[in-house]
Amino acid sequence: MPELPEVETTVRGLAPVLEGRRLVSVEARRADLRRPFPPDLRQRLTGATVTGLGRRAKYGLINTDRGDTLVFHLGMSGRWRIDPAELGTHDHVIVETDAGSRLALNDPRRFGSLDLVPTGDLTLYPPFAALGPEPLAEGFNVTQLRAALAGRSAPIKAMLLDQRIVAGLGNIYVCEALHLAGIAPGRAAGSIGGGRLARLVDSVKEVLLAAIAAGGSSLRDYARPDGELGYFSKQWRVYGREGEACHCGRAVRRRVDSGRSTFFCPACQR
């Protein structure tokens, strides 16, 4: 499933193809993904020029000179294909630029979304309304995190997955950051001291930046003739490594809570 680093990599890959380009053709080949597309998607985008791209949590943002922002979410299986040799049944939205590039939003499982929001109203867009700070921005820091967790007895892992506390973190990067910080996933959030919280903040930023850097090397995939974007696979510290040795020698454990796996080292994390 695309997480924040994959979305960031996607935005960085789309930027050189879209920035400053006029959209000469926009075609939706179905009416919806997880929810209906805006009915006026085609009219509002056709002829518009892309002025910039960005990201908020796990959403990609494409701004146009008409004051609209195309907000996309890749769901479970979404990706943008650049200049695909041919279109397939899962290419649901096709965009062509005045430079002759063709982009296809491909999403076999259709859990993604595509919305068009006035750029000035983005903070009112319902998925963004209650979002906490971006984990890579200065607003995510030990002071903010300590205030958000004060008095909370819920497990720290659940708190980091709460989008109101910090935006865009998913299961993989929370497991990885907790391991890097040496904090047990089940530890009561409000009981973690300031020094360890500071290390947790640094760890969250570090695992995300490392994943984005690894993804950067796959950006060339955008130019491949088949247009496939190869989501980078990474050797995780603990994620997906149940039974394998942690760097300390102990076996990585997996626990399942409400259908979600938590990977951790019982020796390094406390």
Catalytic residues: 2-3, 58, 260
| Among 248, 256, 258, 259, interactor with Zn ion by CB under 5 A | 248
By CB under 5 A, is residue 7 in contact with Zn ion? no
* Binding-residue total with Zn ion (CB under 5 A): 6
Distance from C-alpha of 133 to C-alpha of 209, rounded to nearest angstrom: 16
Give the nearest distance from C-beta 241 to Zn ion in angstroms: 11
Query: What is the Cα 15 distance to its own chain's centre?
Result: 16
Rank residues 164 and 250 by Cβ distance to Zn ion and give the closer one: 250
Q: CA-CA distance, 265 to 55, in Å (whole number)?
A: 32
CB of 184 to Zn ion, least distance (A): 11
Q: State how far the Cα of 68 lies from the Cα of 45, in Å rounded to an integer.
A: 8
Please, what is the minimum distance in Å from the beta carbon of residue 267 to Zn ion?
5
Contact between 251 and Zn ion by CB under 5 A: the answer reads: no
Spell out the SS3 assignment of 76-144: CCCEEEECCCCCCCCEEEEEEECCCCEEEEECCCCCCEEEEEEHHHHHHCHHHHCCCCCCCCCCCCHHH
Q: Give yes or no for residue 183 binding Zn ion (CB under 5 A).
A: no
Site for Zn ion in 188-247 (CB under 5 A): 246
Question: What is the footprint of Zn ion within residues 134-163 (CB under 5 A)?
Answer: none
**Considering the complex, what minimum distance in angstroms separates the CB of residue 34 from Zn ion?**
38
267 lies in the site for Zn ion, by CB under 5 A: yes
CA distance linking residue 5 with residue 209, whole number of Å: 8
Nearest CB to Zn ion, comparing residues 39 and 266: 266
Contact residues toward Zn ion (CB under 5 A) are: 246, 248, 250, 265, 267-268
